[in-house]
Structure 1
């Protein structure tokens, strides 16, 4: 019918009340799900249904040795044509080798992995999926487009759907985690950590004082105590997000994944252990999300109720498990879809349902979580915006709203007017699909919803603060940008200078810092990534904005930075949480005071993310560190699947196929060692030397010892004398170029980087954080060497102590040092090196000469936990000699 987006929006708006009825019908179908009902038996083969209850006892045998070769070739991510050409070349060269056809090996992979994709028809306009109550429909109930393509169906002489989406069922993928002893033992991580935490709290009577995983969270421990989570029950996170495949054209696609908390964090967030759940094509976003989630959630409910069969190779026994859904997360708009909220402009917009009301400007229906009462003109009454000031320190906690009572009110609505009133007062538009899952296998709604720190700390913060400073943020009369005293970057030249300072930092950022932020003056509107925002806001801005932003706005910003740096860690102490909470309070109060000043025309400055930030500390105590259940994992999944696209004419179908292959490959890699995923952290290049405790010397290395400079010779001689090691005043040293640290980073040296091709965009990795005489210092590595086989050292040049004035004024968020070169040479054991850091050259306004400001990898654990690669594999190629 050729509907425009505007036509579809009108149709979908009229269907809002129908959405509530549809949602309940889907929830009831999920509530009564079974592996024996029509939705299971019509989509899964009898073999798969049987395997869900009676799992394989170990990997199935391969048909023959030649299948191994074909599978290896299949998973190299080459096109079908390329596969056929290589297969033909092998047959001609080795006629005795059986090379399976692409189709044959694909069928073997599906059978061996046990992962059967579920393909479901959907509306061509993404209104609904033909699942559940829509299973037998012939046309879309919203836009009335036909389900099947009339032309293609006539040609094929069978019904050909206009569009399909794929679901990859959780249970079939979960069983692969128990295929071998090695992976079954990995799955015991959660049980062991839980036992330790419960013993500490319930037996020893000591509180949790360090939060380093979801198992430290109060809500998880309470669920274990209730018996909802048992030792053999996998604990899950559901994560969904929309993705833009191409920057230049409409290409929205929605993806969801499952994360298994039972696996250690060192493995949990890597792509071999993250389970694809579904790929829902665009280019429009799904309108009735429940119909697209139905196949996956129906299956989850079925295995929660009927049980999922798992084989434990440790005991050579089979048992029935009941997976537990602990956290569901999405970005802001996605969360509104997922949990049935009115969206971020609703009066009760908090996605964690705390019940804090918003305010709206006169004449606008958009609400904002402004705490202070605006100073409306005398005599003007703005309904729902005149309540007294709210104290950020006494706001309701997440989940304080009575969700079940609100849902009952929604169901009693019979007219659009009633519905609009309830939606405005409660912030809920329809019941959440999670309500269909068994209550004892789910953290209750809304507590099960995550806070999505990734989008908040990056896109949300960056999309507001940068436009405010740059003068791009929307302005409403009688307000004028001319009065924005915070607009230090409004001048065109100042903005260009700021952008260049960001770009200038790139050579100083080690490769292990991943993607460097591009020049925001040129690229911030060109697909700026979450990680770019993270490094830009929390690494670079605290230094380059010092003396640029007026002091009160700068202080407000660094309060936010300090809080995020704490919450972005994997290991957070109670004391640090208290510090972060105070910084958040200071930021929120200061933001309204300094930027909004009770002006009605600035109500829209107080965006929802500012309110959500207030819940982060309490949610950390409930669910563990935010990064453990964030969207970082989804971000990496979207990126890695997007990189595998091989067909840009049909990207959605190709992306769905890549997701299917990813899930099958993940399953097979846990069964067969020849497909095992190598851990780059444990992969050592030729010529490396393992020093133990996670330290490894990496090539290059000089072929023979050589004389060192006079200053270096003195430093080495004194250090060796101090340690009782025989040495001459000017020793001959065999230099090593690089050192891999226990955290996976590679620390290079001047000896290494002085020989590298600068034109290739080499990024400096020779600056390190060290412990020297029980004090944290920063240094530049000259080279590494061994005094004997048991003792390895680094010759370093110490940077000065940090600038105390800058440190104090930035509330500890900016550290700057001066470089001393050969004047401060020291010899340190390599064990004193803690991490690779960036030290970026910059001229601060209060200093006469340039110095170097520090950037530690923001939340170093984020990269480890989300599967971001380290830089050593690229360096192996550099150092092939």
Structure 2
């Protein structure tokens, strides 16, 4: 006999009430976690002893044969390839001892100290049999048996149907200090913290530039309170679904740890990102706390008991207490981590500001609308007054802990339902299981997820609105939407072609270029493609296409995201972003919704999230420092290492485990370190000045140059009092590596390439505090081995386009030989894209400039010059 609808609804409610009880149970265990309790005994006695009494000097491998095999093993080749190479070595050098992959794996685990924890889980990914659920023999949700009956009978012991792997963070953190050079790197946070407090306490200055989490109010306060101390690693937790195969939904979950003690140029590299767990799919975990428990219990235990650290750079052993700074995930993932109502709940804000949503009649979905729609009748729960966009409640306005206490006292389903709706909390977050002095207070430990918001969330709404394909209700005709400028199929096709046409102009340092969105939007368009498309290409393509006031409205978002996407944000820029973001959110409702109830669903949660981003920057530093980009790259990196298509989950777990162990050993043993030292340069290159490297190819001998080029070089050298012939001969160099890591090529080099290439010869330069854009012809040396570049300056940016786009489109005419200049290579600040485009109403095609996201952005002054933001602030 089947379930009736009423019975199913009641069962759903009872399940959610049991989730509350389950969450409280996990939290209570975490609060008393210890390295000596029953849950820590999943680790071997030796590993638990090492956590309190760290090994000092790494074991001397001695035997060169095992070093050879480990180096070979670390080259990331398959086991069959490893065996083939070992056999070849054995044939050539019979006296060489080669070791099997099994022996090397055991040696790697022994030396690294990283011991994986394997836990049983439901075959349908409902829950893991951990914590207080460790003794269950069947899933409490789907009732799937825990053990495989057939295999268990054969083996005469319980064989789980599915398991997942957790990689404890303690041994991985200890490894980061067991090499003098690496231990020194781990003091970056301490150095930066001292500088911040010197500026605040000694110089009496407030934070005027946000460069890292250390400039955020929450970190500064935690240090003042003594919750973060020197030697305590500061951690970020990040979790996301992983799509192992293209054109499939996320079919497993991975979480990682990022260590903020490393400098930004190191902490996000895969060598220093610490894998935490791999949770097999194919379904999304229903009880995420149960899967997080092994790793979180381990962290809570070393926070409580202390983690033994031996600092190889000072030969000092001490006890540290890692600090949980922030946890990030995408929207659905954050709902599970936070224990809050879904994004369509009445109070759906992940930062617990208490902002109440609104809904239409006969709909249980709430939307974070600032203005009350013109309802025809009273809609209970949606009739509250309009909000002032400049006085929205800040993050943490609701008393989270008091509300959790009220929720935990619920004893009936009715009480629970009423309290859940009132507070927006479905269950307490597992984060409150950590000791109060070892974690940022909820909700400040929750991330704002700028990556998903800026890319997928914005793109999934704004583009369908322009296309006229966004869901319409109540007779609202999309063909009458004034903003639906891409509703015509031919217009959409042309728009997509223009996006694809930009690819040759985008340097390789810009990573993956956006594909033709008209063809690829629904087939795996990546977050990075969305960023480049929405915030760097769209403003130019929509100028003259998207009518006012919709175009300038969109440009407010573009301007703000470019600012908040930098690694360095000034106080003035932050205020600029605040003004434009709030104006964007406010005007969105006025322009697109216009108080019409049938358009209330236009007000998606990401719009409300935008109102918190500036405050989150003040609290936790630039959003990009604690974003999901690191998680995105880790998923791609591990996914590429999968060797077995028949058992991808098991293989992915093995690769993650091996990644942890190899990372640990690579920081302990210099001979396994695959990183190229910063002071090494390719063969044939030279370092003309600090941070800049001239790279081959180059001419073998000086050659004469054309008349126009020669005249420009002659005048440039005469200005610098360097003697040179009127028709000079120069030794041309083709490429220049900049201090930011970008490689600027030259017209001389790229014109010789036969295959299609992406231009990397356009640069942003600074001359006498003014920023200009130029095309590099080539590099050369003159005088006392000083290095110069011959460049063609682009013309003055079009002021009208700049003003129309609120400063988001800088479009310049190309001048070629008409304006050649000689500049010093130190004048070159970054590689940029100059994309050819025919703007409507302009007769001559112009080149619009795109800077790589994350780098300092350029702004125009009123007289047509361009100034770098840092220059504007210092004037």
Q: Per the shorter chain, which TM-score range?
A: over 0.9
In structure 2, the residue matched to 1:360 is 359
| Deviation per residue, 1:273-299 (Å, 9 max, x gap) | 110011101000111111100001100
Q: 1:251, CA displacement in angstroms?
A: 4.8
Rounded Cα–Cα distance in structure 1 between residues aligned with 2:856 and 2:104: 38
In structure 1, the residue matched to 2:26 is 26
Out of 644, 647, 651, which is 1:650 matched to?
647
CA gap 1:324/1:90 in 2 versus in 1, 3 angstroms: same
| Deviation per residue, 1:824-865 (Å, 9 max, x gap) | 111111110111000000000121011111101122389xxx
CA gap 1:504/1:681 in 2 versus in 1, 3 angstroms: farther
Rounded Cα–Cα distance in structure 2 between residues aligned with 1:181 and 1:828: 41
CA gap 1:534/1:551 in 2 versus in 1, 3 angstroms: same
1:386 counterpart = 2:383: yes
Rounded Cα–Cα distance in structure 2 between residues aligned with 1:495 and 1:8: 45
Out of 779, 784, 789, which is 1:784 matched to?
779
Q: RMSD between aligned alpha carbons?
A: 1.6
Q: 1:100, CA displacement in angstroms?
A: 0.6
Rounded Cα–Cα distance in structure 1 between residues aligned with 2:720 and 2:448: 52
In structure 2, the residue matched to 1:709 is 706
Counterpart secondary structure, 1:191: helix
In structure 2, the residue matched to 1:815 is 810
Q: 1:317, CA displacement in angstroms?
A: 1.7
The question of whether the paired residues in 2 share the 8 Å contact of 1:11 and 1:142 is answered with no
Greater CA deviation, 471-480 or 739-748?
Answer: 471-480
Counterpart secondary structure, 1:319: strand
In structure 1, the residue matched to 2:129 is 130
CA gap 1:829/1:655 in 2 versus in 1, 3 angstroms: same
Q: 1:92, CA displacement in angstroms?
A: 2.5
Rounded Cα–Cα distance in structure 1 between residues aligned with 2:640 and 2:680: 23
Q: 1:330, CA displacement in angstroms?
A: 0.9
TM alignment of 1:305-324, pairs within 5 A: 305-324=304-323
Rounded Cα–Cα distance in structure 1 between residues aligned with 2:754 and 2:623: 40
| Ranges in structure 2 where 5+ consecutive residues have no aligned partner | 858-875
Counterpart secondary structure, 1:15: helix
Rounded Cα–Cα distance in structure 2 between residues aligned with 1:152 and 1:682: 56
Counterpart secondary structure, 1:670: helix
| Deviation per residue, 1:19-72 (Å, 9 max, x gap) | 11111111111111100011111x111110110001111212226221111112
In structure 1, the residue matched to 2:749 is 752
In structure 2, the residue matched to 1:416 is 413
The question of whether the paired residues in 2 share the 8 Å contact of 1:311 and 1:318 is answered with yes
Rounded Cα–Cα distance in structure 2 between residues aligned with 1:243 and 1:514: 20
Counterpart secondary structure, 2:773: strand
Out of 791, 796, 801, which is 1:801 matched to?
796
Rounded Cα–Cα distance in structure 2 between residues aligned with 1:364 and 1:835: 51
Q: Name segments (4+ residues, structure 1) moved above 4 Å.
A: 7-14, 680-683
Rounded Cα–Cα distance in structure 2 between residues aligned with 1:338 and 1:689: 51
1:826 counterpart = 2:832: no
The question of whether the paired residues in 1 share the 8 Å contact of 2:394 and 2:612 is answered with yes
CA gap 1:459/1:266 in 2 versus in 1, 3 angstroms: same
Rounded Cα–Cα distance in structure 2 between residues aligned with 1:815 and 1:681: 34
In structure 2, the residue matched to 1:867 is none
1:842 counterpart = 2:840: no
CA gap 1:636/1:9 in 2 versus in 1, 3 angstroms: farther
Greater CA deviation, 457-466 or 670-679?
Answer: 670-679
CA gap 1:248/1:137 in 2 versus in 1, 3 angstroms: same
In structure 1, the residue matched to 2:433 is 436
Counterpart secondary structure, 1:559: helix
Q: 1:403, CA displacement in angstroms?
A: 0.4
CA gap 1:246/1:495 in 2 versus in 1, 3 angstroms: same
In structure 1, the residue matched to 2:219 is 220
Counterpart secondary structure, 1:38: coil
Out of 831, 850, 858, which is 1:855 matched to?
850
TM alignment of 1:165-176, pairs within 5 A: 165-176=164-175
In structure 1, the residue matched to 2:259 is 260
Rounded Cα–Cα distance in structure 2 between residues aligned with 1:169 and 1:704: 58
| Deviation per residue, 1:5-24 (Å, 9 max, x gap) | xx999976651111111111
TM alignment of 1:220-619, pairs within 5 A: 220-377=219-376, 380-619=377-616
| Deviation per residue, 1:506-539 (Å, 9 max, x gap) | 0000000000000000001111111000000111
1:700 counterpart = 2:697: yes
In structure 2, the residue matched to 1:762 is 757
CA gap 1:37/1:593 in 2 versus in 1, 3 angstroms: same
In structure 2, the residue matched to 1:629 is 626
CA gap 1:398/1:679 in 2 versus in 1, 3 angstroms: farther
Rounded Cα–Cα distance in structure 2 between residues aligned with 1:183 and 1:680: 13
TM-score (norm 1): 0.95
Q: 1:788, CA displacement in angstroms?
A: 3.4
| Ranges in structure 1 where 5+ consecutive residues have no aligned partner | 863-881
Rounded Cα–Cα distance in structure 1 between residues aligned with 2:424 and 2:58: 49
CA gap 1:9/1:772 in 2 versus in 1, 3 angstroms: farther
The question of whether the paired residues in 2 share the 8 Å contact of 1:681 and 1:744 is answered with no
TM-score (norm 2): 0.96
The question of whether the paired residues in 2 share the 8 Å contact of 1:12 and 1:142 is answered with no
In structure 2, the residue matched to 1:102 is 101
| Deviation per residue, 1:394-416 (Å, 9 max, x gap) | 01100111001111221122222
Counterpart secondary structure, 2:615: helix
Q: 1:82, CA displacement in angstroms?
A: 2.4
Q: 1:564, CA displacement in angstroms?
A: 0.6
The question of whether the paired residues in 2 share the 8 Å contact of 1:245 and 1:251 is answered with yes
Rounded Cα–Cα distance in structure 2 between residues aligned with 1:154 and 1:690: 69
Rounded Cα–Cα distance in structure 2 between residues aligned with 1:172 and 1:425: 43
Counterpart secondary structure, 2:68: helix
When the two structures are aligned, how many residues end up with a matched partner? 852
1:113 counterpart = 2:112: yes
Q: 1:138, CA displacement in angstroms?
A: 1.4
Rounded Cα–Cα distance in structure 2 between residues aligned with 1:249 and 1:499: 24
Rounded Cα–Cα distance in structure 1 between residues aligned with 2:223 and 2:852: 35
The question of whether the paired residues in 2 share the 8 Å contact of 1:8 and 1:143 is answered with no
The question of whether the paired residues in 1 share the 8 Å contact of 2:723 and 2:783 is answered with no
TM alignment of 1:710-729, pairs within 5 A: 710-729=707-726
In structure 1, the residue matched to 2:156 is 157
Counterpart secondary structure, 2:39: helix
| Deviation per residue, 1:145-173 (Å, 9 max, x gap) | 11111122233333221111111101110
In structure 2, the residue matched to 1:872 is none
The question of whether the paired residues in 1 share the 8 Å contact of 2:468 and 2:479 is answered with no
Counterpart secondary structure, 1:342: coil
Rounded Cα–Cα distance in structure 2 between residues aligned with 1:673 and 1:12: 55
CA gap 1:73/1:435 in 2 versus in 1, 3 angstroms: same
The question of whether the paired residues in 1 share the 8 Å contact of 2:14 and 2:413 is answered with no
Rounded Cα–Cα distance in structure 1 between residues aligned with 2:315 and 2:8: 56
Rounded Cα–Cα distance in structure 2 between residues aligned with 1:356 and 1:661: 45
Rounded Cα–Cα distance in structure 1 between residues aligned with 2:489 and 2:754: 35
Rounded Cα–Cα distance in structure 1 between residues aligned with 2:797 and 2:676: 37
| Deviation per residue, 1:281-331 (Å, 9 max, x gap) | 100011111110000110011000000000122331210010111111111
Q: 1:266, CA displacement in angstroms?
A: 1.1
Rounded Cα–Cα distance in structure 1 between residues aligned with 2:851 and 2:549: 25
Counterpart secondary structure, 1:164: strand
Rounded Cα–Cα distance in structure 2 between residues aligned with 1:802 and 1:755: 29
The question of whether the paired residues in 2 share the 8 Å contact of 1:12 and 1:287 is answered with no
Counterpart secondary structure, 1:837: strand
Rounded Cα–Cα distance in structure 2 between residues aligned with 1:713 and 1:251: 59
Greater CA deviation, 137-146 or 212-221?
Answer: 137-146
| Deviation per residue, 1:455-492 (Å, 9 max, x gap) | 11111111110111011211111211122110001100
The question of whether the paired residues in 2 share the 8 Å contact of 1:167 and 1:296 is answered with yes
Rounded Cα–Cα distance in structure 2 between residues aligned with 1:626 and 1:8: 42
